[in-house]
Amino acid sequence: MQVTRLLAVRHGETAWNRDTRIQGHTDIDLNDHGRWQAGRLAEALRDEPIAAIYSSDLKRARDTAQAVAETRTLPVHAHIGLRERGFGRFEGHTWDELELRYPTETLAWRKRMPDFAPPGGETLLELRERVVGAALELAARHPGEQILLVAHGGVLDVLYRAATRLELQAPRSWQLANCAINRLLWSPEGLALVGWGDVGHLQVSDDQGVLDERSA
C-alpha cells in the first residue's frame, strides 16, 4: 500500500499575529519577521523531496509557500479548502476586545463548542469537514510521494486532531507555531501523525520567539 507524506506548515508571522488579532479570512500580509521565517523554512526544506506545493489562497500562506517554491521548479497551487476558519465579525479584534464586546460568544468559542459559529463565520464542524476533505483530496493525488501544504493555525489544529483521532472539544496541548514543520502520513485508512512542531530552523537568530496560534 502506497502512502503520501504530508509536510503541513502554518504561514509565517503577520502583524496581526503579533498583536493577537483574529485573522480568519482577512487577507493579511506577512510582516518582516514572517518573511524571514518563510526564508528559513525554504532553507530547511531545500533537500526534501516535494512533488507538489499546495497553499491556502490567502496571501500570508501563499507567500510562505512561494518562498519554498523559489528553491525548486514547482508552482504553488492555491486551494480554498486550506483557508483559515472564517471568524466573521470576530475578525480584526483581539481576545480582550472580544471578551468585552461579545462575552457569551467568546465563552462558546473558548469551550470549543463544535456547532458554534462566530456571527458570519464557520463552526468547528464545518471547518473539519472542509479541511480534512481538502487534505485527503490532495494526498490522494500523490501516492508514494511527499507534498507540502501551507495553511493556518486552525487548519493545522484540525489536521492534528484528525491524525490523532482527538475530538474537536479536546483541550489543545500541542503547538501551532508559525513556519513549524509538521509531518503526517496519508493512506486510504486516513491520516497518521509522524512528527510535530519542528522549529529548529527558526532558532538560529530568532530573538522574537515563535508565536503559538491562540485562536485555534
List the binding residues for substrate.
10-17, 60
Question: Of 84, 91, 105, 213, which is the active-site residue?
Answer: 84
Measured between alpha carbons, how far is 131 from 28 in angstroms, rounded to an integer? 20
Residue 34's H or E segment, with its range, is: helix 32-44
List the end-to-end C-alpha distance of the chain, in Å, as a whole number. 33
Measured between alpha carbons, how far is 111 from 108 in angstroms, rounded to an integer? 5
- DSSP 8-state symbol, 80: G
Residue 84 phi/psi, 5° resolution?
A: -65, 160
Across 37-90, the runs of DSSP E, i.e. the strands, are 52-55, 76-78
Nearest in space to 92 (alpha carbons), one of 81, 79, 82, 101: 101
User: Among this protein's residues, is 84 annotated catalytic?
Assistant: yes
Question: Of 11, 93, 142, 152, which is the active-site residue?
Answer: 11
Residues at the binding site are 10-17, 60
> Among all residues, which ones are annotated catalytic?
11, 84
